[in-house]
Every structure is written in C-alpha cells, then in structure tokens.
A = this chain, B = another copy of it.
Amino acid sequence: MEDIHYTAQWGEGERWGDSPTDIGMARLALSDSDKLVRDWFMEKVKSYGCNSHVDEMGNIFAIRPGKKEGLPTVMGSHLDTQPAGGRYDGILGVLAGVAALRAVHEAGIETEYPIGVVNWTNEEGARFPQCMMASGVWAGATDVAQVHQIADIDDPNAVVKSELARIGYLGSTPAHWTATPLAAHFELHIEQGPILETSSQCIGAVEGVQASKWFTITVTGRDSHTGATNFENRSDALLTSAKMILRSHQVATQFSSLASTGLLSLKPGSTNTVPGVVNFSLDLRSSEDRNIDEMEKILREDFEKIARDEDVASINAGCTRGRGCTVSWKVDSDAKVANFDKECIECIEKGSEALFGQKAASLTRRMYSGAGHDSVHTSTRVPTAMIFVPCKEGLTHNPAEYCSPEDCGNGAQVLLNAVMRYDML
C-alpha cells in the first residue's frame, strides 16, 4: 500500500474524497510522470536482485535469477492510467509483483527458476488509442513498425516511438515473445465490476476475457450556417453521428454485447456552424468473437444508410431528411476472446487455499473479465491466468476507483503463492 500511495505522486489526478489518498490518477502512457514511475520501478527491482531490460516497445522485464537457468515466471500488468483513472487499475498488479520480489528477496528465497515482474507499455490505450498495445506487439498480434507510428489522440506529432525515445525507454531488445520468452504470466487486477463485492467473495480466478474491437469513425458533411441553412440543405455530421451512436447501442443490446463511444471531436466547432466533420471512437465488446463480427457487419451497413439519411430502425422518425454525409471506418485494435491456462488457474486456486485454508472455497470464484488486460495477449504465447480482487461498486476508469488494503494484500499474497507454486511444477 505504501508503494501504491507513494508512487501516486507521479501523475496525480482528481481529488474525489477527503482522505490524503482520495486522489485519482492521470498518468498517461509515455508522459513525464510515466517516465518518473518507471525510473522508480527500475531502482526498486534492482535492489531486490533483478536484472532488467527494456524492449523496443518500452516494456520493462525485471528478472530475478533462480537456482536453475530457464524461462522466468512473471507477474505483469501496467503502470499507465486513464486520464481520469484510479490508483489500482494496472498499478496494483505491477506493485504487488514488486512486493512479491521484495518478500522473496528479504526472505533469502531461491526459486527453482527465475521469476520476475513486467511493466507493459500503454495497456490503457487512452493516449495512444490501441489498448494492450505493447503486450500485443510482444505476442506478435500487431506489428512494431506500425504501432510505433500511432499518434497521441491530441497531438499528431507525438507518436509512440518518438515518445518512447523522449522519456528514455526506447529499448533495443526486439519486442517479441521469441526475444524475451516467458514460462508463464500471472496478473493481479481489480475486478472492475461488481461481482466479487456483491457475492462477498475476495478472490477471482479468471478463466478468460471477452473480445473487443476498436474503431475510429469519421463522418463528413458540410459546414453551414445554423440559422440560414434549412434542414433539407444540411449535411450535419454531428446529428448523423448522434444517430450512429444510438444505433450502435441498439445493435449491441440485441447481441447482449457492448458498444461504447468515449471520444468524439468535431470541426469547425462554433455554436452557429453545423459541424462538417466528426470523429468518434466505437468500442465493441462481446463474450463471443462471432458477435463482434456480426455487429460490425450490421453497423457498417447501417452507418452507410444513416449517413445517406435513410431510415434505420425508425431512427429517422420525425426527422427532416437532409443531403446526407459520408462515413469511413478505421480499425484501431482487435482482440479476440481469451481463454486462460488450466494449470495457471489451478495455481491461483491453490494459492487462495494456502492463504484462506478451508474458507477458500467460499471466498474464491472462477469468473470472466469484461475489461481487456495484457494477459489477453500473453495467453496466446505462454500459460497465463489472472487474479481479481473486489473494487468498490465495480467503479473503475474513474478517480474514485477503490480497492481496500485487505483486498490488495490478499491479492498480492495469492499472486506470490501462485507464482511459487508454478515455479515448482
């Protein structure tokens, strides 16, 4: 807990309560504050006997040697946050790994094989709009050269590669699972949902993660005067986008899936000018890959019709038809459903038994994750599983995100137990 609150100085966010630690985080990937927390991390893990290396995506691998040579079993997550995020999402997973290393180091334990901690770059996808970005490159899901060119959502000149270089974390090791191979990947994370809290349980053994696909949609109409242009003569890019956002929600409802828009910007931006261009993000999620495919197919067709100002599902009822807009799509990220490794999941359950004894059965549950995690990508290359701990009201991506010291502690202990068990398999 000390490390969590101490390192929160780098990227302090919005205050949400009265206590000294009731302040959220705003530590965007590859920002100055991300550099500072990385520097702190490098020092800490060194003092616990680790050798660290940084790859060309800025992923940091801190490895503590074991009795034998071999692949390391790692605890990984991310130190970047949302622009209005909390103190636990990602951070808990990395700092619990650091605490585990300290425990092992201070107890003078020699593991069978190396163990370690990984800090993955830009898991959030908030600043550079591709979530789980650098674990995706490591896993070979995306191409390093392309990802290096992804730009800051607000600044086209700040791209991933230039920002990595600027903060001194553009490493030379290829960002690839063949260049830094791992034995297994365990990730502790807050649940980011209400299930554990509602059921009064405290450990989730995560079996998998739903699929997500991200798009940037551009709607192009024509700037015109709001007082002098009647509805028939408009090509209103914002009204059109509003209909598309509504439609994506309807379609996701049909598929028991999710569709969300978190970014929207328009041009030229004046009360009395009908916007000529709108860009918005579309984030589709589902527990089944084929739902994503089908929703995308339907929405591509429906957005075309909405852009042409044709009616779709009565969305145009009561509206005046205008001259229409055009619409284009860009895929920003694409992650299939992830299924985690049976042995790793069992190590977590055994790790919970070691902590809670007989009560473990009622305090632990198997579950799925709604949010994406770096483990989605590692699971395609190495045995992977995740541990969830409760977070208050399921609230996350919000400054008031909260995980109690007890729950953080339980999670960290189960993480260490699981890693030690896997190391001895």
Residues of B within 8 A of A360 (CB): none
Could you tell me the distance in whole angstroms from the C-beta of A17 to the nearest C-beta in chain B?
15
A364 interfacial by beta-carbon distance below 8 Å: no
Are A370 and B262 within 8 A (Cβ)? no
Contact with B along A113-138 (1 / 0, CB 8 A): 00000000000111001010000000
Write out the residue numbers on chain B whose beta carbons fall within 8 Å of the beta carbon of A271.
Answer: 125-126, 129, 131, 214, 262-263, 281, 283, 332
What are the interface flags for A393-406 relative to B under an 8 Å C-beta threshold, 1 for contact and 0 otherwise? 01111110000000
Q: Which residues of B contact A371 (CB under 8 A)?
A: 225, 227-228, 272
Report whether A238 and B245 are in contact in the complex, using a CB–CB cutoff of 8 Å: yes
- Residues of A240-293 whose CB lies within 8 A of B: 241-243, 245-246, 249-250, 252-254, 258, 260-264, 266-276, 281, 283, 285
**How far is A224 from B397 in the complex, measured between Cα atoms in Å?**
5
Q: Hey, which chain B residues are within 8 Å of A283, CB to CB?
A: 226-227, 271-272
Rounded to whole angstroms, the CA-CA distance of A242 and B314 in the bound complex is: 15
A194 to B232 Cα, complex, angstroms = 12
B residues within 8 A CB of A172? none
- A156 close to chain B: CB less than 8 A: no
With a CB–CB cut-off of 8 A, which chain B residues contact A153?
Answer: 269
Question: A107: CB under 8 A from chain B?
Answer: no
Main secondary structure of the interface of A (DSSP, over half): loop
Residue-wise interface mask of A (88-112) relative to B, using a CB-CB cutoff of 8 A (1 in contact, 0 not): 0000000000000000000000000
Take A239-B246, A370-B229, A398-B276 as given contacts and tell me if A266 and B264 are in contact as well, using a CB distance cutoff of 8 Å.
yes
- Beta-carbon contact of A398 and B223 below 8 Å: yes
